[in-house]
Amino acid sequence: MKRLMICWIVLLMSGPALAANDGASSSRDAISCVLSDPAATAETQALYRNLHKLAQEGVLFGHQDTLAYGVGWKADPNKLDSDVYRVCGKFPAVFGWDIGHIGTPRNIDGVPFESMKGWIRKGYEKGGISTVSWHAQIPGTTQSAWTQQKVVSRLLPGGDMHETYRATLDQVAAFFADLKGPRGEPIPVIFRPFHEHTGGWFWWGNKWCTPEEYKQLWHFTIDYLRKTKGLHNIITAYSPDRFKSREEYLERYPGDDTIDILGHDNYGAFRSAQTKDEARQALETIVALAEEHSKIAALTETGVGQNSANATWWTDVLLDVIKSSPATKKIAWVLVWRNADKRQNYAAFPESATAENFKAFERDPITVFLEDLPPMYK
Ligand code: BMA
């Protein structure tokens, strides 16, 4: 509750009247954000604008698959649950989902797509935000996202797998089109395909296609979803893995007319206090670039294993990096990866070594959970 009020005060104070008259804050408040889709629905535009406003003061917390399962449990369809809620009594503000294995009944991690759609609708009705990544199989095959093969050029217009790729995108489009709110309005989602392309581990990674081919993959994909399929509820996120310079970050950037969120996936530099400088610099770079491009920056994936972790990782590493400079505080959200089981878990859970410290992370005035959000879709 306390944070909800803080957010509202900030929103009121950063209104246009103040921006026009106040010298010091006008340059900051005047920074705008421009969606790549000029035909985005009213709710999608509102979400983007509100994310941008909130990013000036708060950082939303996100968790992958949080409503579907946690360490030692699977969701009961009749009640909302989450390891995050079990630890701190609040839900994440950002719900991460993955559409790997689209076209089959269950996603790459066993989450039924029908249930996933249900949770996205529930999350929206509660005022939360959903982001959808895509550990895509090679279209038309059951070969995993980690297949290291030159296939991108074959998916593009003129390529021998182009028709197959269109058929896969039809399934993606059907998934997004099925996300409707109570008034029948399309639910906005943040779509984050082709992530971590600055490494070579996925078939869309930098070893397996040229910068031009990677950009064309994005252009074709987003144009197809928007222009051919008529979807205007998609906010796009670009998420390079670790990078050394602005140039490297932007090398394969598809452009402002395709991308809305300048994201970043980084586990390595957030692992411990020793690498905090790299982590801080990475966030400063994406925030600066987001401002230059009139976009929004976000730490789209990070985390450490919760049982082996430094027990104060949440405040001493993650929060400390986020609060390390005026720029780093301006990332819109941080999302930690899934709580698969006792071996793979990135959010605190009741028995984890970091549970107490996670509560302190939640209590910090900068972090924003579902219950702290102002209305995001108006
Ligand atoms: C990886 C791991 C895998 C999972 C994949 C897609 O990082 O979590 O277990 O299958 O993401 O979610």
- Give the whole-number percent of the chain exceeding pLDDT 70: 92
**Is 196 considered catalytic here?**
yes
**What is the rounded distance in angstroms from the CA atom of residue 337 to the CA atom of residue 109?**
12
**Is 12's pLDDT higher than 90?**
no
pLDDT tens digit sequence for 264-279 = 999 999 999 999 999 9
Q: Is 108 in the pocket of ligand 1 (CB under 6 A)?
A: yes
Residue given tokens 């670009």 in the structure block: 238
Q: Is 109 in the pocket of ligand 1 (CB under 6 A)?
A: yes
**What is the rounded distance in angstroms from the CA atom of residue 174 to the CA atom of residue 314?**
38
Question: What backbone phi and psi angles, to 5 degrees, belong to 300?
Answer: -75, -20
3-class SS of residue 298 = strand
Q: Stretch 200-216: mean pLDDT, rounded?
A: 98
Structure tokens at 91: 């839900």
Site to probe by mutation for ligand 1, drawn from 135, 201, 266, 341 as the one with most ligand atoms within 8 Å of Cβ, is: 135
Atom of ligand 1 nearest to the CA of 133: 12
pLDDT number for residue 13: 35
Q: How many residues are recorded in the chain?
A: 378
**What is the rounded distance in angstroms from the CA atom of residue 280 to the CA atom of residue 244?**
12
| Sequence-distant (≥ 6) Cβ neighbours of residue 140 within 8 angstroms | 161, 164, 165, 167, 168
Atom of ligand 1 nearest to the CA of 344: 8
Residue 307, Cβ neighbours under 10 Å: how many? 14
- Give the whole-number percent of the chain exceeding pLDDT 90: 90
pLDDT tens digit sequence for 349-363 = 999 999 999 999 999
Q: Whose CA is nearest to atom 8 of ligand 1?
A: 338
Q: 186 - beta bridge partners?
A: 180
**Is 114 considered catalytic here?**
no
**What is the rounded distance in angstroms from the CA atom of residue 115 to the CA atom of residue 95?**
14
Model confidence, pTM: 0.93
Site to probe by mutation for ligand 1, drawn from 95, 109, 300 as the one with most ligand atoms within 8 Å of Cβ, is: 109
Structure tokens at 158: 């003129």
pLDDT number for residue 278: 97
- The one catalytic residue among 284, 291, 301, 362: 301
Cα of 98 to ligand 1 centre, how many Å?
9
Q: Is 98 in the pocket of ligand 1 (CB under 6 A)?
A: yes
**What is the rounded distance in angstroms from the CA atom of residue 191 to the CA atom of residue 193?**
6
- The one catalytic residue among 196, 284, 291, 362: 196
**What is the rounded distance in angstroms from the CA atom of residue 238 to the CA atom of residue 217?**
13
**What is the rounded distance in angstroms from the CA atom of residue 51 to the CA atom of residue 235?**
11
- Read off the amino acid at residue 363: R
